[in-house]
């Protein structure tokens, strides 16, 4: 047993026990109805799991990212979908490192108690995509407020969040020396903003992900809600992005392990031509390959989390963790569906739902090609391709 498993066993066991109180039919219903799993999120909040990264002085558990990764991995491993609430963990990378003491005292205790939800991260825009430096949302200071105008897309959980971290340009791109300069992060109180410059429009997708597009028209945000220094926002969100990649990687490992367990059980039980299908090497080998890929990816997720928790730069590792884990979960999902044959397409087996859910992470929170470009340029020192 690895040190990681030993240190986090109690957390894993407790999360698994909580998840077991939400049977697969619950997740089928939420998926079928495209309904937010409010009851599940509430249970995680009341158990303190969603505030695990918040320091103890603000009412949280003060755990490290490795613990958050274990929590999300176990959620996915149970067959549930942690995408409904994972942002409350990865946004902490920005909040804890860059918010002022006054901002932390104002929001963190209420988040820890479950009185407020921080589940929305407003970065991506329709015309910019993953080219964050090209965002067009602007924030202009006027007296004691910033006036914000623009649009965001793929802002998941915006309808179910009380606070959103929002990235906007405070200096036009053409006026900065470095294109990633001149962007700032703001804490937006969603309930107060709705109907007063903020409009949320749901986007229906192939999975139950509660994602939206946001329209911002002369929204007033108090100057005190600026995170850190004006113009330094891109650097601030990178801390959230690295945490996001690591935690998504952990979720993918959980998905992969669910698929492997599901396929293994079915291959042992299902009999065709008078014998278990798992006796056939054509069924065994894909399961074994998915297992190897998953275990290897899990090591990279563990390494990235350890570097992040040590405060060491971990851009390459967090990107590789996300990509390798996403590939492992997709390999395992495809294998699991193939192992089940026609039954894999039946809702009652849950394979088709998890198959759709895990496919997302080939393109989010960053696409495969962008990860490869990043590694090529910043690690392998090949010419910049974009």
Per the CB < 8 A criterion, the answer to whether 216 and 152 are in contact is: yes
Place of tokens 């894993």: 12
CA atoms of 305 and 185, how far apart (whole Å): 24
Phi and psi dihedrals of 311, rounded to 5?
75, 20
Supply 127's token pair.
């015309």
From 244, 302, 327, 352, the catalytic residue? 244
Q: What share of the chain is helix, strand, coil (3-state, %, to 5)?
A: 60, 15, 25
- Token duo for residue 149: 């105008």
Residue that is written with structure tokens 């202009």 in the block: 140
149 class by beta-carbon count within 10 Å (0-12 exposed, 13-18 middle, 19+ buried): middle
Distance between CA atoms of residues 248 and 51, nearest Å: 17
Peptide bond between residue 204 and the one before it cis (omega within 30 degrees of 0): no
* Beta strand ranges found along the chain (DSSP E): 118-122, 138-142, 145-153, 163-169, 183-189, 198-202, 212-222, 226-227, 271-272, 275-276
Long-range contacts of 303-307 (CB under 8 A, 24+ apart): 304/242, 304/245, 304/246, 304/249, 305/64, 305/65, 305/66, 305/69, 305/246, 305/250, 306/66
Is residue 244 part of the annotated active site? The answer reads: yes
Residue (of 84, 62, 61, 60) closest to 72 by Cα position: 84
> Two tokens at 60?
């949280």
User: Which residues are known catalytic residues?
Assistant: 244
């Amino acid at each position: 047993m690895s040190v990681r498993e030993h240190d986090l066993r109690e957390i894993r066991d407790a999360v698994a026990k909580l998840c077991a109180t939400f049977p697969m039919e619950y997740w089928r219903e939420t998926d079928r109805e495209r309904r937010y799993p409010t009851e599940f999120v509430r249970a995680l909040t009341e158990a303190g799991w969603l505030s695990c990264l918040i320091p103890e002085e603000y009412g949280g558990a003060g755990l490290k990212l490795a613990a958050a990764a274990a929590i999300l991995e176990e959620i996915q491993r149970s067959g549930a979908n942690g995408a409904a609430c994972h942002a409350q963990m990865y946004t902490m990378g920005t909040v804890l490192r860059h918010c002022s003491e006054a901002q932390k005292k104002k929001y963190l205790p209420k988040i820890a108690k479950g009185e407020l939800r921080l589940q929305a991260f407003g970065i991506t825009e329709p015309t910019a995509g993953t080219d964050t430096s090209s965002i067009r949302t602007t924030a202009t200071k006027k007296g004691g407020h910033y006036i914000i105008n623009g649009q965001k897309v793929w802002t998941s959980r915006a309808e179910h969040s009380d606070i959103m971290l929002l990235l906007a340009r405070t200096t036009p791109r053409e006026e900065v020396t470095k294109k990633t300069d001149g962007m700032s992060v703001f804490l937006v109180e969603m309930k107060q903003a709705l109907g007063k410059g903020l409009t949320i429009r749901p986007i229906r997708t192939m999975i139950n992900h509660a994602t939206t597009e946001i329209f911002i028209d002369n929204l007033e945000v108090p100057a005190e809600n600026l995170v850190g220094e004006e113009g330094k926002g891109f650097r601030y969100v990178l801390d959230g992005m690295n945490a996001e990649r690591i935690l998504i990687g952990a979720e993918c490992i959980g998905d992969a392990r669910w698929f492997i367990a599901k396929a293994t059980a079915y291959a042992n039980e299902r009999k065709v031509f008078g014998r278990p299908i798992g006796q056939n090497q054509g069924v065994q080998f894909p399961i074994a390959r998915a297992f190897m890929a998953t275990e290897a990816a899990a090591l990279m997720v563990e390494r990235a989390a350890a570097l992040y928790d040590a405060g060491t730069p971990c851009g390459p590792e967090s990107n590789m963790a996300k990509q390798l884990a996403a590939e492992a979960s997709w390999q395992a999902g495809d294998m699991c569906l193939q192992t089940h044959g026609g039954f894999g397409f039946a809702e009652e087996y849950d394979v088709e739902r998890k198959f759709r859910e895990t496919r997302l992470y080939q393109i989010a929170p960053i696409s495969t090609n962008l990860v490869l470009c990043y590694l090529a340029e910043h690690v392998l020192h090949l010419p910049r391709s974009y």
